[in-house]
Amino acid sequence: MTDTMQALVVLEPGRMEVRQVPIPVPGPNEVLARVRAVSICGTDAHLIRGDYPGFWPPAFPFIPGHEWAGEIAGLGPGADKYGWKVGDRVAGTSHDACGVCRECVEGRYNLCENYGRAGLHRQYGHNHQGADAEYVVQGVKTIFALPDALSFEDGALIDPASIALHVANRGNITPGDTVVITGAGAIGLLSGDAARIRGAGRVIVVGRGRRLAKAAALGFETVDYGTGDPVPAVRAMTGGLGADVALECAGVPEAVEWALEMLRRGGRCAAVGIPTVGVEIAMQRLVLDELELVGSRASAGEMRRVMPHVEDGRMRVRELVTHRFPLTEYATALATFNDRESGALKIVVAP
């Protein structure tokens, strides 16, 4: 191993380059991992564009990337006592929470009350250096053993698969429910699989273009919002009543409004998309129809639980990989990801 590695460095909003940087050194209870595959997330695109100034990242230059898999290349002090050894295959997630606040102790480490506080919390690829590089350092709480049956490419999609399972859990889907999903991107499609895992009787995906065609190919019912208002279409498909559960995976104000309007009385909407502008909520109907609107942030324990579903094909991550690039071509990979006409769903980068 040399002293330097290739990494994608965002120098300032909208300006990035692949350059040589020092290989990071793992600290106590951390590992150094050789990144074999890392996938591009919508958050990466927003962060690189500068949509979260001063928050994600807190400062530049910055290495993004948080959906990755690889093998352990080095152990920091104490990491071995958790059973990790050099050569172990792992998949990573982003939240390295404090572990002692109320939310962490109750299992909701994605809501750590010490978020972003130095020495207590890190979110890799968001407020701490990420995995768009040949090597990454992460804490032992954020890595999970990758089963032999899964490739590194599969492993790079375990994190988004866990996010999809978390939003389905937040939607409190019960067997036989009719579930509508707004947004036919990767998280939306994986959420369709997660809804089925939880027992949904019907899954309707709202989207357009190639992504909606992919939803149909995966066996979901579809509504094309490009041909008109999708709300009456969904209501017509549900006997005028609406869906039991909506999973909002688009992150745009209009889609949030649609999701709530598509619910039947007493319905529940779990939103994982993050709009960058405000949303108008029809509060009168929310109150009178006792609708529920809940947020869904990342995942909280679903990394380990989703792996068996990926192994047996019920969570179809392999179906969503549309493009592959080397790290040196990250700019092209990102442009492809941002081009809705490219058909891109999940793009995997190989450092």
pLDDT band at 276 (very low <50, low <70, confident <90, very high): confident
pLDDT band at 20 (very low <50, low <70, confident <90, very high): very high
Instruction: Count, in order, helices (H) and strands (E) of the chain.
Output: 11, 17
d(CA 9, CA 169): 35
Is the pLDDT confidence value at 1 over 80? Answer: no
**Amino acid type, 29:** N
Tokens of 231: 């709300």
The predicted pLDDT at position 343 comes to 94
How is residue 128 annotated by DSSP? Answer: B
Residue 328 contacts by C-beta under 8 Å, 6 or more apart in sequence? 6, 18
Average pLDDT on 315-343 reads 97
Is the pLDDT confidence value at 277 over 90? Answer: no
Q: Compute CA distances 274 → 92, 188, 296, whole Å.
A: 22, 13, 10
Is the pLDDT confidence value at 216 over 80? Answer: yes
Residue 189 contacts by C-beta under 8 Å, 6 or more apart in sequence? 205, 211, 214, 215, 218, 220, 316, 319, 320, 345
Instruction: Kindly report, residue by residue over 284-327, the tens digit of the pLDDT.
Output: 999 999 999 999 999 999 999 999 999 999 999 999 999 999 99
Residue 248 backbone phi and psi in degrees, to 5? -95, 110
d(CA 336, CA 332): 6
If we measure between CA atoms, which residue out of 188, 133, 192 comes closest to residue 330?
A: 133
Is the pLDDT confidence value at 222 over 80? Answer: yes
Q: Identify the structural domains of the chain with CATH numbers, from first to last.
A: 4-157+317-350 (3.90.180.10), 163-295 (3.40.50.720)
pLDDT band at 250 (very low <50, low <70, confident <90, very high): very high
Percentage of the residues of the chain whose pLDDT score is greater than 90: 98
CA angle 63, 323, 313 (to 5 degrees): 100
CA angle 297, 320, 135 (to 5 degrees): 70
Is the pLDDT confidence value at 95 over 90? Answer: yes
Conformational region of residue 149, where left means phi above 0, alpha means psi within -120 to 50, and beta covers everything else: alpha
Q: What is the pTM of this model?
A: 0.97
Average pLDDT on 203-219 reads 97
What's the mean per-residue pLDDT of the chain? Answer: 97
Segment holding 234, helix H or strand E: helix 230-237
Is the pLDDT confidence value at 2 over 90? Answer: no
Average pLDDT on 322-340 reads 97
If we measure between CA atoms, which residue out of 36, 44, 41, 116 comes closest to residue 73?
A: 36
